């Protein structure tokens, strides 16, 4: 089993509400979530979407026991931090929460696929700088010193070809479109495959 833990870009906002937000199966256009595209690519995988729109990294971390550990998955995909940046929280606040989630999962024997924070079109230069700093930390943490921790550049997967700080396509300027969610799944697939091996 693969659990996808995160905020709106895991949930599938704005066209889909995750099963956590709209029990038991979620609501809306199911193509508007990367979990759907992972299932399409690998029908043999059980993929749970545990994203919640608007949550900060500390709020996501608070759901680890219920939404990750209780399911005893093989792999957890974690993407968090954009709402912290939006609300003015520090880079250190986000990286501390991410580290706690990564460590908690690995202590439980769960492999971690760590996705990068994806862009949103109204971000200020300061907000983009924070997102880039967090994403660099994630990538460095998932280097040789991070066993059972894979980094995936989900930001690059959804970014406009001519501007890495803008979405290639978006229904609201804040979240990826269906194609963006498909591309996130495409980017995540090799890391999840490696992590399940």
Could you give the domains of the chain? 2-196 (3.40.50.1110)
**For residue 85, what pLDDT is reported?**
98
Share of the chain above pLDDT 90, in %: 95
**For residue 186, what pLDDT is reported?**
98
**For residue 142, what pLDDT is reported?**
86
Rounded CA separation 138/157 (Å): 16
pLDDT bin (cut points 50, 70, 90) of residue 74 is very high
Residues near 66 by Cβ (< 8 Å), separated by ≥ 6? none
**For residue 148, what pLDDT is reported?**
87
Q: Mean per-residue pLDDT for 150-168?
A: 97
Rounded CA separation 79/13 (Å): 14
Give all strands of the β-sheet with 149-152 in edge-to-edge order.
47-51, 2-6, 75-79, 111-115, 149-152
Q: Mean per-residue pLDDT for 53-70?
A: 98
Q: Residue 147 pLDDT > 80, yes or no?
A: no
pLDDT bin (cut points 50, 70, 90) of residue 111 is very high
Q: Residue 160 pLDDT > 80, yes or no?
A: yes
Q: Considering the entire predicted model, what is its pTM?
A: 0.96
pLDDT bin (cut points 50, 70, 90) of residue 124 is very high
Q: Residue 145 pLDDT > 80, yes or no?
A: no
Mean of per-residue pLDDT scores for the chain: 96
């Amino acid at each position: 089993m693969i659990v996808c833990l995160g905020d709106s870009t895991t949930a599938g906002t704005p066209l889909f509400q995750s099963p956590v937000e709209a029990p038991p199966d979620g609501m809306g256009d199911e193509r508007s979530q990367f979990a759907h595209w992972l299932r399409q690519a690998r029908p043999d995988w059980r993929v749970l979407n545990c994203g919640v729109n608007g949550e900060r990294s500390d709020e996501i971390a608070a759901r680890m026991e219920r939404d990750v550990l209780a399911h005893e998955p093989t792999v957890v995909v974690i993407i968090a931090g954009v709402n912290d940046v939006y609300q003015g929280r520090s880079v250190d606040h986000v990286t501390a929460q991410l580290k706690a989630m990564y460590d908690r999962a690995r202590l439980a024997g769960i492999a971690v696929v760590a996705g990068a924070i994806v862009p949103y079109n109204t971000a200020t230069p300061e907000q983009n700088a924070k997102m880039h700093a967090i994403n660099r930390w994630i990538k460095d943490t998932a280097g040789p010193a991070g066993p059972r921790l894979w980094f995936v550049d989900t930001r690059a997967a959804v970014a406009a070809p001519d501007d890495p700080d803008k979405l290639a396509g978006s229904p609201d300027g804040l979240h990826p479109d269906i194609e963006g969610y498909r591309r996130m799944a495409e980017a995540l697939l090799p890391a999840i495959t490696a992590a399940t091996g």
